[in-house]
Amino acid sequence: MSTRAALDGVVVADFSRVLAGPYATMLLGDLGAEVIKIERPGTGDDTRAWGPPFDADGTATYFNSVNRNKTSVVLDLTTESGRARAREIVAGADVVVENFRAGTMERLGLGYDDLRAVKDDVIYCAITGFGRAEGAALAGYDLLVQAVGGLMSITGPEPGAPAKVGVAVVDVLTGLHALAGIQAALFHRQRTGEGQRIDINLLSALLSSLVNQASGYLGAGVVPGILGNRHPSIVPYEVFPTADRPIAIAVGNDKQFGALCSALGASGLAGDSRFATNPQRVKNRDELFTLLSDALAPHGADYWFKTLTGAGVPAGPINDVAEAIRFAESLGLTPTVAVPGSRTPQIANPIEMSATPPQYRSAPPTLDG
């Protein structure tokens, strides 16, 4: 295994704040890049104040979640001296990441064309909420994008009760798309010597991530709605009650359905004409839900988790976050890591690499530290 990280030698000038940009740059840092986080005087990144909760050192845990493996440099970009220092940093960098409202960096004289004059092969990644055209004036907050981007229309307990996802998932998805684009651009530059501009917007990242739901509309004219915990095209693929707490059952094919029925002592359901194939189960999902719920009622979720998993049926209880981390540990995974300089652990980078694994060199920085 190499002692070098995959992106050793890559320098990132990170003008981003809050979540989408910082998540992408933290992952770049985990993979070996040097990340210089440029923050405004006084307050720095907004998320430094987004608490409680705060960790043992008094730092907002929100900020900690996306800012390890970075150094902080405070610059007032409204001053010429601040902008001059920013250009100096970019001159020594390979990648620039920013998520200001569209047009802000250009007004500061730090847009892509401006910085190409400083570093002609720079890779410049701009993250916006709604692009650089008609949506440029709109603020790109995750809740807003979940609302207007269709995600809330298919998320919630029941029709007429839309709900946001319990984490800023659009920001995370956008950060992952930014990471992919930046790495592709680095590979292109290695082959050709050319830098380029990358534009990622939250709305487009969300629409891409709607996958089968968006495809169902485009290909079949089906506008999906809220199904609670149900799947529009697969049955049974939802949450069921048990004797104590709910359990998720995710049956993806007829063989698994047969195994489920056998494990529940209801083998006859697999041969019932109403449920023999997935399209028939989708058509008769309400009847099947009642029958399966009755079969699950005598025992609790942990009993059924063990029984169904042993029978080859994908199933699991509804864990809270603490239980989820313990569950990952029970599987031999390493969901958390110790980070030098921090008294609290962090969630590990999920990318496992045999030769150049992620590295955890430093805790999230203090302001200009």
pLDDT at 149: 97
- CA-CA distance, 193 to 121, in Å (whole number)? 7
Q: In whole numbers, what is the pLDDT of the chain averaged over residues?
A: 95
pLDDT reading at 369 higher than 70: no
pLDDT at 34: 98
pLDDT single digits (tens) 301-336: 999 999 999 999 999 999 999 999 999 999 999 999
**Which residues are catalytically annotated?**
171
Query: In 3-state terms, what secondary structure has residue 86?
Result: helix
Measured in whole angstroms, the distance separating CA 234 from the mean position of its chain's CA atoms is 24
Distance between first and last Cα of the chain: 31
Sign, CA dihedral 133-134-138-141, equals negative
pLDDT at 9: 96
Sign, CA dihedral 240-246-252-255, equals negative
pLDDT at 137: 87
Looking only at the bridges linking them, the beta strands covering 70-74 and 34-39 are parallel
Report whether 269 contacts 298 (CB < 8 A).
no
**Assigned token pair, 337:** 């890591």
pLDDT at 139: 85
Amino acid at 287: E
Q: Phi and psi dihedrals of 327, rounded to 5?
A: -65, -45
| Domains of the chain, start order | 11-209+336-347 (3.40.50.10540), 237-323 (3.30.1540.10)
Q: Within 13 Å of residue 39, how many CA atoms lie on the same side as its CB?
A: 26
pLDDT single digits (tens) 97-110: 999 999 999 999 99
**Assigned token pair, 51:** 């608490």
- CA-CA distance, 214 to 221, in Å (whole number)? 10
pLDDT at 368: 81
| Longest Cα separation, the chain | 77
The owner of tokens 């009622």 is: 297
How many C-beta neighbours within 10 Å does residue 94 have? Answer: 22
Q: What percent of the chain has pLDDT over 90?
A: 94
Residue 286, Cβ density class (10 Å: 0-12 exposed, 13-18 middle, ≥19 buried): exposed
pLDDT single digits (tens) 216-252: 999 999 999 999 999 999 999 999 999 999 999 999 9
Q: Assign 50 a pLDDT band (cuts: 50, 70, 90).
A: very high
38 to 30, 89, 127, 194, 274: CA distances (angstroms): 18, 10, 16, 25, 61
pLDDT at 4: 85
Beta bridge pairs of residue 346: 337
The owner of tokens 């890779």 is: 123
pLDDT at 56: 87
- CA-CA distance, 241 to 256, in Å (whole number)? 19
pLDDT single digits (tens) 244-281: 999 999 999 999 999 999 999 999 999 999 999 999 99
CA angle 55, 58, 61 (to 5 degrees): 40
Q: Phi and psi dihedrals of 187, rounded to 5?
A: -65, -40
Query: In 3-state terms, what secondary structure has residue 20?
Result: helix
Q: For the chain, what's the residue count?
A: 369
Q: Assign 2 a pLDDT band (cuts: 50, 70, 90).
A: low
Report whether 213 contacts 232 (CB < 8 A).
yes
44 to 16, 41, 343: CA distances (angstroms): 11, 6, 22
Q: What percent of the chain has pLDDT over 70?
A: 99
Where would I find the beta strands (DSSP E) of the chain? 11-14, 34-39, 70-74, 95-98, 123-128, 196-201, 237-240, 247-250, 315-317, 336-337, 346-347
Q: What letter does residue 72 receive in the DSSP assignment?
A: E
